[in-house]
C-alpha cells in the first residue's frame, strides 16, 4: 500500500523485554513520533503559536491499535501515515506499522484542532491556517 508519508525508526533496547519484544504501549509512541514527523515534513509543528500568543494544538480524542505481530529489538520499523478522514475540526489518522514487508500493527487516532489557552482550557476550532493549507485525505486508502 502506498502511503501519504512513511516514517522509519529503530526499536530501542529500552522498549523491549528480555525476549527482545517491544512492549505494546510503545506502538502509541511510534504512532505519535510518525505524526510529528509528518507535521515537520510539511513545515509545521504539532503546536503552532499564533501572533496573539495562543497555541493551536492537536489533543487526541481517541486512539487504538490492533496488534498483528511483535516488534523486535534493533529492527527498523516503517510507520505509514495516512489521513483517513479530514473533518472540519478533526483528523482521523491511520498508521500501519511494518517490519520490512510484515505488517505488525494497524493504529488509528483522531485528533482535534484546538486553541490551547494559558489557563489550560482547550477550545475546539475549525482547522485553521497554516494547517488547513497542508492537509488532505489520503488517496491511497
Q: How confident is the model at residue 2 (pLDDT cuts 50, 70, 90)?
A: low
How far is residue 83 from each of residues 80, 93, 108, measured CA to CA in Å?
Answer: 10, 5, 10
Residue 66 located in a structural domain: yes
- H or E element, residue 34: helix 26-41
Q: How confident is the model at residue 67 (pLDDT cuts 50, 70, 90)?
A: very high
CB 28 within 8 A of CB 63: yes
Inform me whether the pLDDT recorded for 36 exceeds 70. Answer: yes
Residue 83 located in a structural domain: yes
Query: Which residues contact residue 52 at a Cβ distance below 8 angstroms, ignoring those fewer than 6 apart?
Result: none
How far is residue 40 from each of residues 2, 5, 17, 35, 136, measured CA to CA in Å?
Answer: 20, 11, 31, 9, 15
Catalytic residue numbers, as ranges: 17
Residue 100 located in a structural domain: yes
Print the domain residue range for 115: 5-124
Residue 92 located in a structural domain: yes
CA–CA gap between residue 138 and residue 86 (Å, rounded): 9
Task: Check residues 50 and 98 and name the one with the higher pLDDT.
Answer: 98
Residues forming a β-bridge with 5: 81
Mean pLDDT of the chain: 93
pLDDT digits (tens, 9 = 90+) for 77-136: 999 999 999 999 999 999 999 999 999 999 999 999 999 987 778 999 999 888 888 888
Residue 140 located in a structural domain: no
CB 77 within 8 A of CB 96: no
Q: How confident is the model at residue 9 (pLDDT cuts 50, 70, 90)?
A: very high
CATH number at residue 99: 3.10.129.10
How many structural domains compose the chain?
1
Inform me whether the pLDDT recorded for 3 exceeds 90. Answer: no
Residue 40 located in a structural domain: yes
Quick one: pLDDT at residue 140? 65
Q: How confident is the model at residue 141 (pLDDT cuts 50, 70, 90)?
A: low
Residue 136 located in a structural domain: no
Residue 116 located in a structural domain: yes
Amino acid at each position: 500500500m502506498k502511503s501519504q508519508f512513511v516514517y522509519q525508526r529503530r526499536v530501542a533496547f529500552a522498549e523491549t523485554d528480555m525476549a527482545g519484544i517491544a512492549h505494546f504501549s510503545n506502538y502509541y509512541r511510534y504512532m505519535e513520533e510518525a505524526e510529528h514527523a509528518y507535521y515537520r515534513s510539511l513545515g509545521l509543528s504539532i503546536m503552532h503559536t499564533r501572533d496573539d500568543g495562543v497555541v493551536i494544538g492537536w489533543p487526541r480524542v481517541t486512539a487504538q491499535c490492533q496488534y498483528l505481530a511483535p516488534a523486535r529489538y534493533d529492527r527498523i520499523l516503517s510507520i505509514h501515515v495516512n489521513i483517513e478522514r479530514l473533518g472540519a475540526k478533526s483528523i482521523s489518522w491511520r498508521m500501519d506499522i511494518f517490519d520490512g514487508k510484515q505488517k505488525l500493527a494497524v493504529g488509528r487516532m483522531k485528533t482535534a484542532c484546538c486553541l490551547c489557552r494559558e489557563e489550560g482550557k482547550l477550545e475546539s476550532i475549525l482547522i485553521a491556517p497554516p494547517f488547513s493549507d497542508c492537509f488532505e485525505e489520503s488517496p491511497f486508502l
